[in-house]
């Protein structure tokens, strides 16, 4: 219902912005909690998909779930700032499981859900989701940028401005895609995965992401060209993340990943675009800032 969506947004948006601004253990704790809740929803989706395929529940899968929870809890709290020597390992922790999950999802479009697919999806998700959530903390730990406001220059605490930028780009993309797709959408984007998404909505989402990133980037001291390029990349990866989650939900036969956020679904429904955008934003901004 609309009032539920508005009420959740009225409470959730200020809370999220406050946590982003405060950073430190406020953000680390929030990210750890979200990672745990996101993994819980993800495991529920994979179990529902396996049940629909008539697969038995194995004890080994439960052990995999426990290991995933431990991994999710430890990363944001114990590695709020990974040493630079671990940059390659940090990138591989996202790139390898992301590539594997995308390959499994693509393969699963023409293959039935099987024990191997169930194990692969759960295992890759156990590695990928906590690693993606950690990049929200990494974005916050980037060097601060100058913010121009009424002719005055001030500094947002830490790198909060860059996390704000990535979040704003995702929100703009989602809002533009939903509004344009609902009113003018005619051509289906990926009907086999998400029947409601349209080509017109996807294009509007890209435009919204580019405009938001360029505008906030300029406000935070980035050249417009860099902000626009960042917005384009975020617009693409955000939609890939959205479609990937939609495919897993179709396997499970559900509309939403959960019901934690009234009117918005679950954690994964709200973070499916932001999560893949976090590492993209981090590495692009670090390159732009010369770090």
User: What pLDDT sits at residue 85?
Assistant: 42
Please name which of 128, 98, 168, 122 lies closest in space to residue 35, comparing C-alpha atoms: 128
Rounded distance, CA 154 to CA 236, Å?
A: 31
pLDDT for 196 beyond 60: yes
Rounded distance, CA 207 to CA 205, Å?
A: 5
pLDDT for 230 beyond 50: yes
pLDDT for 79 beyond 60: no
Q: Of 79-83, 98-102, 171-175, give the lowest mean pLDDT range.
A: 79-83
* Higher-confidence position of 247 and 203: 203
Report residue 149: phi and psi, to 5°: -140, 115
User: What pLDDT sits at residue 172?
Assistant: 93
User: What pLDDT sits at residue 52?
Assistant: 78
Q: Of 68-77, 225-234, 244-253, give the lowest mean pLDDT range.
A: 68-77
The stretch 97-123 carries a mean pLDDT of: 71
Q: What is the b/e burial string over 10-45, where b = at least 16 CB atoms within 10 angstroms of the residue's CB?
A: eeeeeebeebbbebeeebbebbbebbbbbbbbbbbb
Rounded distance, CA 17 to CA 156, Å?
A: 12
Could you tell me the two tokens for 5? 């969506």
Q: Are 249 and 255 in contact (CB under 8 A)?
A: yes
pLDDT for 3 beyond 60: no
User: What pLDDT sits at residue 14?
Assistant: 77
Q: Of 35-39, 89-93, 146-150, give the lowest mean pLDDT range.
A: 146-150
User: What pLDDT sits at residue 56?
Assistant: 65
pLDDT for 193 beyond 50: yes
pLDDT for 269 beyond 50: yes
Determine the Cα angle at 262 with ends 20 and 69, to 5°: 60
**Which of 20-34, 57-71, 276-290 has maximum average pLDDT?**
276-290
One-character DSSP codes across 156-222: -STTHHHHHHHHHHHHHHHHHHHHHHHHH--SEEETTTEEEEEHHHHHHHHHHHHHHHHHHHHHTT-
In which band, very low, low, confident or very high, does the pLDDT at 110 lie, cut at 50, 70 and 90? very low
User: What pLDDT sits at residue 150?
Assistant: 46
pLDDT for 165 beyond 80: yes
Q: Of 29-43, 62-76, 105-119, give the lowest mean pLDDT range.
A: 105-119
pLDDT for 290 beyond 70: yes
Q: Are 218 and 227 in contact (CB under 8 A)?
A: yes
Q: Is 195 helix (H, G, I), strand (E, B) or coil?
A: strand
pTM beyond 0.75, yes or no: yes
Rounded distance, CA 285 to CA 239, Å?
A: 20
């Amino acid at each position: 219902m609309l009032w539920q969506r508005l009420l959740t947004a009225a409470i959730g948006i200020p809370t999220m912005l406050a946590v982003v601004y405060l950073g430190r253990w406020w953000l680390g704790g929030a990210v750890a909690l979200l990672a745990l809740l996101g993994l819980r929803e993800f495991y529920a989706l994979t179990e529902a998909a396996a049940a629909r395929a008539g697969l038995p529940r194995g004890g080994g899968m439960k052990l995999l779930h426990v290991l995933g929870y431990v991994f999710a809890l430890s990363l944001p709290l114990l590695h709020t700032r990974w040493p630079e020597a671990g940059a390659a390992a940090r990138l591989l922790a996202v790139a390898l499981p992301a590539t594997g999950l995308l390959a499994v999802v693509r393969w699963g479009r023409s293959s039935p859900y099987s024990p191997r697919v169930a194990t692969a999806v759960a295992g890759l998700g156990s590695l990928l989701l906590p690693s993606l959530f950690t990049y929200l903390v990494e974005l916050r730990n980037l060097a601060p940028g100058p913010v121009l406001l009424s002719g005055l220059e001030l500094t947002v605490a830490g790198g909060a401005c860059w996390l704000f930028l990535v979040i704003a780009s995702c929100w703009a993309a989602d809002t533009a895609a939903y509004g344009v797709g609902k009113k003018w959408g005619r051509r289906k984007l990926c009907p086999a995965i998400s029947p409601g998404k349209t080509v017109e909505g996807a294009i509007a989402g890209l435009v919204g992401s580019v405009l938001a990133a360029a505008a906030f980037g300029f406000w935070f001291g980035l050249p417009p060209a860099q902000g626009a390029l960042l917005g384009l990349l975020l617009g693409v990866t955000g939609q890939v993340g959205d479609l990937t989650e939609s495919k897993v939900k179709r396997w499970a036969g559900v509309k939403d990943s959960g019901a934690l956020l009234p009117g918005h679904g679950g954690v994964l429904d709200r973070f499916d675009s932001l999560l893949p955008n976090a590492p993209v934003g981090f590495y692009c901004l670090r390159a732009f800032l010369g770090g």
